[in-house]
A and B are shown apart, each in its own frame.
Chain A
């Protein structure tokens, strides 16, 4: 139990996928302009990421590994992720059509979110038990969601402030993301 908790903290904060490992930066920069869109993006990504890592783990250990087809892992995982994104899209369209419109291209682009494939690949390499994989995936997606939501709140404030012309827009967002990453280095060595 304690080990799972440590794994959770280490994945969510110490090795945060966005701010420490720099995976999943495209949605981090792309959909963080408003708090409500980032909230639903966080939910959608959490859904896709958790289920894709779990399914990938099961497929890897029941099909690929016994048949010695490990070299097919990337293509298999991508298919799993793409179909889950499709499912998320259907769900989103049914539950909140407005959000579906607002998220637009970024919803199908979860497929290319490198954090999603990264979690699937890392978890089959690192963990043999399904429980560890699930905890790892949930922690990774919660870490992603946390950072995305905090960043979008910051961006809403930045849009109201008087940034010098040379730094307005993307430059100040990248600088802010860098400073956030620096703050997250404070978690380094947490054990």
Chain B
């Protein structure tokens, strides 16, 4: 199976095998995102369509710009190589650079991930900054597909999260007329209420926050489809979710007013399932060995819980993934591909 080979050697994609096989992997990923996307549309409305449209358009412009920049450098290199200008075909070089970038579906996956990680109805400026940072700073500065250190979507999200923190805290209420704090924030700033009192409130459903539980369940379904199709390995999501269960069980405190929330609540809040199945499993930015993947999953899950519970940000997926990404070269150095 071709896909499996590529994923087990995330970094060492041969240049010839890249476009077609990566494209088919990313088609599966886009397909698996659909249940979650649908759930988000259902609860937050058309604001997400708007986000997606801007993100894809900005992504298109960004890809074209990058392709043109690459063309102009390769033209220069060509003109140095052959002094006679009649051998140069600028148009064909441009086409040669543009089509792999536009056909590289992982760019579109990045755009979709940024669009759904942001709250709905974001200003055009913020979405554009996120997309340009994701594709430019996160991916193409490092040489494009397979070379980047950090997850591109999370670089884009991280840049706008630290640049426009107040805009990114604007999650609309799931139910009309309810205050804007997400269930995670309510738990974090609970004023002496026990977990049971809190979850009896209107913002909470049966498992976690009203709406959020179904969004997470939908992403979980998509993620299970990816594992079933062998697009992603099961190690990272399973160990990530397991470490969150362990941490939250250790600090659950039987639901007193100091409790940090039950394991089930943590599993179905915020962007956990999206992060565990779609973001942390990026084959380029996760370790290549199985043992490395286990450490990566545990590290990611622990960081998510630490930032979420004691940090300054309501949810920690983006920072946790970026922090785990920067440990990946060291993890790979310790457990290389062969074990």
- Chain A positions within 8 Å of B, measured between CB atoms, are 35, 149-150, 153-154, 156-158, 161-167, 172, 175-176, 179-180, 182-191
CB distance from A26 to the nearest CB of B (A): 20
What is the 8 Å Cβ interface bit string for chain B, positions 133-145, against chain A (1 contact, 0 not)? 0000100111110
Q: Which of B86-94, B177-185, B315-323 contacts its partner? A: B315-323
Top 3 nearest A-B pairs (CB, nearest first) are: A189-B312, A186-B319, A183-B322
CB distance from B301 to the nearest CB of A (A): 14
* Cα A179 to Cα B148 with chains together (Å): 12
Check A157 against B141 for contact (C-beta < 8 Å).
Answer: no
A182 contact from B159, B303, B313, Cβ within 8 A: B159
Check A183 against B326 for contact (C-beta < 8 Å).
Answer: yes
CB distance from A59 to the nearest CB of B (A): 36
Which residues 268-315 in B have Cβ within 8 Å of A in the complex?
Answer: 303, 306-307, 310-313
Check A163 against B326 for contact (C-beta < 8 Å).
Answer: no
Check A179 against B311 for contact (C-beta < 8 Å).
Answer: no
For the complex, count residues of B whose C-beta is within 8 A of A: 35
Knowing A157-B149, A164-B141, A172-B141, the reply to whether A185 touches B326 (Cβ < 8 A) is no
B209 within 8 A of partner (CB): no
CB distance from B18 to the nearest CB of A (A): 12
Apart from A153-B330, A175-B137, A180-B326: 4 A-B pairs, beta carbons within 8 A: A162-B147, A164-B73, A165-B73, A179-B326
* Cα A161 to Cα B70 with chains together (Å): 17
* Cα A183 to Cα B311 with chains together (Å): 13
CB distance from B22 to the nearest CB of A (A): 16
CB distance from A134 to the nearest CB of B (A): 24
**Which residue in chain B gives the minimum CB-CB distance to A183?**
B322
* Cα A154 to Cα B144 with chains together (Å): 16
